[in-house]
């Protein structure tokens, strides 16, 4: 008999700032510490709802000052730091060794802090005032593209997730994130951290479950502006890339690099933010 009977958490989807079950009611099973967790399995309609939540949240997220976005992302790091134990437990449950788990949690927190400092600088880096040959004031600067669909890498389940999601929102976009079945707990813990970090509802939406239905739905959705695909299954990846062309999405395909890739310098950079931004150039005559 158990010494103390514990309260088991229901593993739900994170859509529009709320934790909800799949509209289909379906779940898949995942093992943590010997017991079975029934995790929500996202459906096509859940993807539809998540995209709608992202689109609704976008104008206000985009219009916030860059400084404000930076402060919010920094607060995400504060929440991650205070939830170290929860993340470590999730990684251990997924089969990562204790030393590696601690290293991954540190790397994830540090990466979020790193990106927090980019929010109010990326525009300076990517903007130019252009010396056009006629009497005009001419400036180019980046703007967020809109709603970005992210299919998170399978491994490392925490660092890979943070590395793909955070740069998307730093640029002022909203994200709809699909997370696979190999480790849903890190994603749920991240969702909880986001929900308590002043991130406005709908800016990040996280859907757990298999990709067979959700990836094609997201890839073909006409109100999604870009995709960030880290899919190991080549057929699924190729099919998604094809469907994305229906509304000329901006697509980045990373495949499934080795775990150690994500710990290196090439797994972070202002180019990761720039990938989901559009450059706008404005002309104005200069003359009295």
Partner 1 sequence: MATSQAPIRRRRPGKAARTSTRSARQPADGHARLAVASPAGTSWPYAAAPESHDYLKLASRYELFIGGKWVKPLGGRHFASINPATEEVLTHVGEASAADVDRAVRAARTAYEKYWRRCTPASRAKYLYRIARAITERSRELAVLESMDTGKPIKESRDFDIPLAAAHFFYYAGWADKLPWAFPNVEPRPLGVAGQIIPWNFPLLMAAWKIAPALACGNTVVLKPAETTPLTALWLAEIVRQANLPPGVVNIITGGGDTGAALVRHPGLDKVAFTGSTEVGKEIARECARLRRRVTLELGGKAANIIFDDAPLDEAVEGIINGIFFNQGHVCCAGSRLLVQEPVLDAVVHKLHRRMQTLRLGPPLDKNTDIGAINSKAQLQKIQALADSGEAAGCKRYETTCALPARGYWFRPTFFTGVALSHRIAQEEIFGPVLSVMTFRTPDEAVEKANNTRYGLSAGVWTDKGSKNFKIVSQLRAGVVWANTYNKFDPSSPFGGYKESGFGREGGMHGLLPYLER
Tokens of 253: 């395909």
Tokens of 248: 């000329």
Among 124, 131, 134, 248, binds partner 1 (CB under 8 A): 124
Tokens of 146: 């809109």
Helix H segments across 171-203?
184-195
Number of neighbours of residue 26 by Cβ within 10 angstroms: 15
- Residue range at the interface with partner 1 (CB under 8 A); choices 18-26, 47-55, 82-90, 280-288: 280-288
Tokens of 197: 């970090």
Query: Taking the CA of residue 198 as centre, how many other CA atoms within 13 Å lie in the half-sphere pointing to its CB?
Result: 12
Crossing angle of helices 211-220 and 234-244, rounded to 10°: 20
- Residue 104 CB, shortest distance to partner 1, in Å, is 16
User: Closest by alpha carbon to 61, among 164, 145, 172?
Assistant: 172
> In the complex with partner 1, which residue's Cβ is closer, 66 or 195?
66
Site for partner 1 in 63-122 (CB under 8 A): 66-67, 70-71, 74, 110, 113-114, 116-121
> In the complex with partner 1, which residue's Cβ is closer, 67 or 140?
67
Beta strands in 41-172 (DSSP E): 128-129, 136-144, 147-151
> In the complex with partner 1, which residue's Cβ is closer, 26 or 121?
121
CA gyration radius, the chain: 20
**Looking at the chain, how many residues does it have?**
288
Query: Site map for partner 1, 132-171, x if CB under 8 A?
Result: -----x----------------------------------
The answer to whether the CB of 148 falls within 8 A of the CB of 274 is no
Helix (H, G, I), strand (E, B) or coil at 230: coil
- Residue 84 CB, shortest distance to partner 1, in Å, is 15
Site for partner 1 in 8-67 (CB under 8 A): 66-67
Number of neighbours of residue 244 by Cβ within 10 angstroms: 22
Query: 136-144 and 35-40: which strand pairing?
Result: unpaired
- Residue 230 CB, shortest distance to partner 1, in Å, is 24
Query: Site map for partner 1, 252-271, x if CB under 8 A?
Result: ------------------x-
Q: Which residue matches tokens 């540190």?
A: 106
> In the complex with partner 1, which residue's Cβ is closer, 66 or 201?
66
> In the complex with partner 1, which residue's Cβ is closer, 110 or 192?
110
- Residue 237 CB, shortest distance to partner 1, in Å, is 30
Tell me how many residues contact partner 1 (CB under 8 A): 23
> In the complex with partner 1, which residue's Cβ is closer, 125 or 238?
125
Q: Which residues bind partner 1 (CB under 8 A)?
A: 66-67, 70-71, 74, 110, 113-114, 116-121, 124-125, 137, 270, 284-288
């Amino acid at each position: 008999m158990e010494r103390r009977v514990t309260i088991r958490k229901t593993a739900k989807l994170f859509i529009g700032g709320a934790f909800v079950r799949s509209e289909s009611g379906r779940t898949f099973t995942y093992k943590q510490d010997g017991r079975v967790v029934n995790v929500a399995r996202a459906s096509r309609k859940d993807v539809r709802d998540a995209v709608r939540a992202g689109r609704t949240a976008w104008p206000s997220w985009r219009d916030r000052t860059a400084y404000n976005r930076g402060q919010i992302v920094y607060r995400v790091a504060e929440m991650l730091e205070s939830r170290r134990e929860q993340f470590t437990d999730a990684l251990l449950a997924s089969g990562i060794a204790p030393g590696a788990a601690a290293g991954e949690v540190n790397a994830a927190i540090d990466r979020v802090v790193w990106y927090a400092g980019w929010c109010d600088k990326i525009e300076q880096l990517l903007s130019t005032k252009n010396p056009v040959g006629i009497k005009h004031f001419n400036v180019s600067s980046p703007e967020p593209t809109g709603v970005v669909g992210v299919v998170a890498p399978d491994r490392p389940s925490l660092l890979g997730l943070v590395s793909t999601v955070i740069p998307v929102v730093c640029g002022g976009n909203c994200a709809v994130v699909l997370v696979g079945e190999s480790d849903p707990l890190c994603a749920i813990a991240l969702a909880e951290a986001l929900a308590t970090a002043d991130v406005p509802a709908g800016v990040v939406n996280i859907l757990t479950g298999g990709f067979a239905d959700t990836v094609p739905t997201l890839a073909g959705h006409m109100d999604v502006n870009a995709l960030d695909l880290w899919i190991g299954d080549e057929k699924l990846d190729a099919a998604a890339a094809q469907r994305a062309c229906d509304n000329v999405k901006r697509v980045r395909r990373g495949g499934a690099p080795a775990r150690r890739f994500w710990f290196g310098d090439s797994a972070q950079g202002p180019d990761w933010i720039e990938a989901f931004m559009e450059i706008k150039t404005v002309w104005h005559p200069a003359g009295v």
